[in-house]
Structure 1
Amino acid sequence: MGYAVVLGEALVDLLEADLDGELIYRQAIGGAPLNVAVAATRLGGDVRYVGTLSDDVLGDRLAAFLREAGVGLSGVKRVPVPTTLAVTTFVGAEPTFTFYGEPPSYALLEAGDLDRDGLRNAEVIYAGSICLLREPFRTAARAAWAAAGPIKVFDPNVRPTLLPDAKAVQNLRELVEEFFATADLVKLSSADAAVLYEGSEPPAAAERIRELGAKAVVVTCGSRGAYVATGDGAEMLPAPSVAAIDATGAGDSVMGALVRRLLAEGVPADLAGWRRNVRFALAVAGLVCERQGGATAMPTNEELVARWGALA
């Protein structure tokens, strides 16, 4: 089994919480790509994180967390700017993010920082998320994505607070569609689909993304489950019933679980194979939603078995 390279942001979330009637913010490790890297690693995958971390105390904590989780850090570049903060507020279990820090500590990776041999030899490459909105990371991600050989997985991870107007949405759509066109898997949320494609429901958005060239599309739909579309069909798969307390990182756990399956088994040959993988990923996400969310909520295989029994 080979390794996965995950490119993208790592930052610190300040999560809105209630403490004895007082509104506080709880500090947590965050960033969608970091969550993906940790999720796939805890499920038994060999994952190498590629990105920039601040050289401040919060950057040290991010590096220590990744190291302790077993994620490879040879592709990390330390940078002399403060760690970006994502202030996270909730309506129910669903988070909304507002970002603070300029320049963003997570977006300073340059194409020249990449290990080109390491990228070519990877089994899977993940790209996406808010790091693509900024240079020089966008150029670095394009260079990494061009590596021949690895399975390519992409998640736009749309954050509306970073898209101030219709022009910004159009620019993001054009950017992510560039990656969609050559992806083996695109994973996005139904909310992402609605922003990118003017309120489109998952089937219409998935069909458009597949028409661009993506081989498979998975659209997560919260408690409703996930819609999966491939070359030989499409299907809505239900989510397991859970008592959700925090959905932070749930979508990232789906991607992490799918990366883990791609590392173990390669790209599924048909819809049935994708169905099996997505059901596994939804079980992972269900367990994440029953915990305080984010990277620390990502489960191990043993925890999955303890919660759901043996998973196919």
Structure 2
Amino acid sequence: MALVASIGNLNYDIYIKTPELPGLDQSVDAVDIYTGGGGSAANFAVAITRMRHRARFIGSVGDDVLGDMILRELAGEGVDVSFVKRIKGVRSGVVVVLVQPDGVKRMIAYRGANMGLSPDDINEESLGGVDHVHIASGRVELILKAKEVAKRLGKTVSVDGGTALARKGLEIASKALSGVDVVLMNQVEAKMLASSADHRAAVDVIAKSINAKEVVITLGDRGAMAVSDGEFIYVDAFKLQPVDTTGAGDTFAAAYIAARLAGLSLYERLLFANAAASIKVTRPGARSSPKFEEVAEFLKSLGYRIAD
């Protein structure tokens, strides 16, 4: 059982399920509303605990009621929150998620206290005893500092920079991601980063430009692909009825890293991560990731064998 540190955002998510989006000066009715903890790095931390690993979250929240609530929820999932920073006078991060009937979501994010996390908070103390470091943030200064400390301590590193990093362009992203063990992104981010309309061409550009051991691209309901040491692997998705795709990428990332820590092959990592993400989208909320046993049983039911 490894200890995995996750660095990035912790939010309070408000989900509004609606059959249509309002136009200018219009209103539409919601068919459901629910709330829960969110933030890509925090979602990853919860998901990795369900993959039989220990998790430590490094981030910042406001010194407010919402901060108390989302910290308590995260700790209740078994995540070490002892290195979470409290920011006085600033509201905790809040994200409004608009979920449509097909499970596709749109998000409006207020970062708030999340921006209080600084490179100084990432050090040998906060990363002490950690086996793997995952950065789910597009803030280059955090990626560079986490990478520096992790490599000094001899730990492996993964980065999911999201749209924020993709928007910075390939030159900046390449410098931030150089030497990283695993780079994860979705197809929209890959196309944006590579300035390409085709995800396969984008993967080629990114793999050649970024000095990373593995580049992994998720393709939504079409599965995922990865490039490692010149080897290209594509694995199709499992076709399950989506309810809410929020947090699917974080579930995929956690399952992929767990499979990597277990020594599974590139193909097996993608297969396992696809299965975990496919199960997650059938459930509402960003923190509804499956347990390791659920993923293993799902794959077994389809004739696949994944070592415990």
TM-score, normalised relative to structure 1: 0.84
Per the alignment, residue 78 of structure 2 pairs with 70
Query: 2-side partners of 1:140 and 1:197: how far apart?
Result: 22
Q: In 1, distance between residues paired with 2:285 and 2:299?
A: 19
Aligned residues: 288
Counterpart contact for 1:129–1:158, Cα < 8 Å: no
Aligned to 2:97: 88
Deviation at 1:288, TM superposition (A): 0.2
From the superposition, tell whether residues 205 and 123 of structure 1 become closer, same or farther in structure 2 (CA, over 3 Å): farther
Q: Is the 8 A contact 2:194 2:205 kept in 1?
A: no
Residue matched to 2:156:
151
Contact 1:11–1:86, Cα closer than 8 Å, also in 2: yes
Match of 2:23 in 1: none
Unaligned runs of 5+ residues in structure 1 are: 133-137
User: Take 1:119 and 1:262, find their aligned partners in 2: how far apart are those partners?
Assistant: 20
Residues 120 and 150 from structure 1, CA distance in 2 versus in 1: closer, same or farther, beyond 3 angstroms?
farther
| Contact kept? 2:12, 2:36, Cα under 8 Å | yes
Q: 2:201 aligns with which of 162, 185, 204?
A: 204
Pair 108,15 (structure 1): closer, same or farther in 2 beyond 3 Å = same
Gaps of 5+ in 2: 20-27
What is the identity percentage for the equivalent residue pairs of Structure 1 and Structure 2? 26
What's the TM-score once normalised by structure 2's chain length? Answer: 0.85
Matched AA of 1:278: L
In the alignment, what sits opposite 2:228?
A: 230
Instruction: Answer whether contact 2:59 2:85 (CA < 8 A) is retained.
Output: yes
* Cα distance change of structure 1 residues 129 and 113 upon mapping to structure 2, 3 Å threshold: closer
Find 1:285's aligned residue among 270, 277, 302: 277
1:172 and 1:158 mapped to 2: Cα distance? 10
Cα deviation per residue 1:182-216 (whole Å; 9 max; x = unaligned)? 11111110011122222343322222232221111
Deviations 1:158-182 (A, max 9, x none): 16xxx9xxxx93x354443223221
Q: How does 1:162-241 map to 2 (within 5 A)?
A: 169=167, 171-211=168-208, 212-241=210-239
- Larger helix fraction of residues: 1
Worse-matched range after superposition: 1-10 or 201-210: 201-210
RMSD, aligned α-carbons: 2.4
- Deviation, 1:25, is 4.4
In 1: Cα distance, 2:171 partner to 2:97 partner: 27
Q: Distance in 2 between matches of 1:90 and 1:76?
A: 29
Q: Is the 8 A contact 2:225 2:232 kept in 1?
A: yes
Q: How far off its partner does 1:309 sit?
A: 3.0
